[in-house]
Amino acid sequence: MQGKDRDGNIVSGNEGQEKVISLLYETAPGRQILKLLTMPFVSEAGGKFLDSKLSAAFVKPFIKRNRISMAPFEEETYESYNHFFTRRIKEGERSFAAEQKVLCAPCDSKLSVYPIEPYGRFRIKHTRYTMDSLVCSKRLAKHYYGGMLLVFRLTVDDYHHYAYIDDGEKTRNYHIGGVLHTVNPIAGDIYPIYTENAREFSILKSRNFGRVLMMEVGALMVGKIVNHHEAGMVKRGMEKGFFEFGGSTVILALEKGRIRLDEDIIRNTQEGFETVVRQGEKIGYANR
């Protein structure tokens, strides 16, 4: 799935990474390797290596290969690859819009949006899902029938911290176990990744956007989803958590009629493009 920036320019992806993922998911030998790679214990072992000092040698080549500008980030000496991957942005670099009814992106990502049908079905590219299977609860799923699903796909070059989109009261975190497929759209054409992957969610009873379901989805070689808070009051723009190494996804489910999404984001998804967004950037507006 190609991307577009907010000016309508096409943004190229990582062609080398796409080729590797295609081999893993679209060839018989690749799928045999994939069975091993998607097991949680492999991700955990990879995570231990990426926490080690040996992994620090990969940081500078990765920055250069992916052309990552380090100017917005706090200056640090990275002691491991995960230390770099969970790097922090400088204060003020990802500020949320001042107007409370503006819906802002919770993270740096590639965004696509999907209507949730009246019976809870939605389609991401060629794969059909249901809200029931996403959250493993028919009762909870019904709150979002007829609403919108916002899928924020983070790639390895993104800032992997995510924030609350509004003031409100948050529930506890609910964990759903699973395997760890890549969240690249190539994999989504073959496996229902968002209902097979390990994930965690909570509900935000928000001031401006209703009951927002916030979900984090782990992915290939993501050893950890780190959420900072259990049940309690939270503030707009406050950091909710972060991912350790790998591509991953943040999902927001919004109730019917709660928001008006920006037209370019809707149009891009309909035309087969993800929209490149940054944390705190306006993506819509509250209807109520």
pLDDT tens digits for 140-149?
A: 999 999 999 9
Question: How many angstroms separate the CA atoms of 243 and 228, rounded?
Answer: 11
Q: How confident is the model at residue 62 (pLDDT cuts 50, 70, 90)?
A: confident
Cβ proximity of 220 and 33 under 8 Å: no
Contacts of 54 by beta carbon, 8 Å cutoff, 6+ apart: none
Region class of 5: left (phi > 0), else alpha (psi between -120 and 50), else beta: beta
The reply to whether 218 falls in a domain is: yes
Question: For residue 183, is it within any domain?
Answer: yes
Residues annotated as catalytic are 108, 248
83-129 residue pLDDT tens: 998 999 998 899 998 899 999 999 999 999 999 998 898 877 667 88
Query: Over 50: is that where the pLDDT of 231 sits?
Result: yes
CB 6 within 8 A of CB 264: yes
| Three-state secondary-structure class, residue 250 | strand
Predicted TM-score of the model (pTM):
0.85
Tell me what pLDDT residue 14 has.
52
pLDDT for position 196: 64
pLDDT of residue 185 exceeding 50, the answer is no
Q: Is residue 3 part of a domain?
A: no
Q: How far apart are CA 173 and CA 152, in angstroms?
A: 19
What are the tens digits of pLDDT across the range 78-92? 999 889 989 999 988
Residue 26: inside a domain? yes
For the chain, give percent helix, strand, coil, nearest 5: 25, 30, 40
89 in a structural domain: yes
Q: Enter the tokens of residue 106.
A: 């919770």
Distances 237 to 1, 56, 79, 106, 218 between C-alpha atoms, Å:
28, 30, 28, 8, 22
Domain count, the chain: 1
Domain range for 65: 10-288
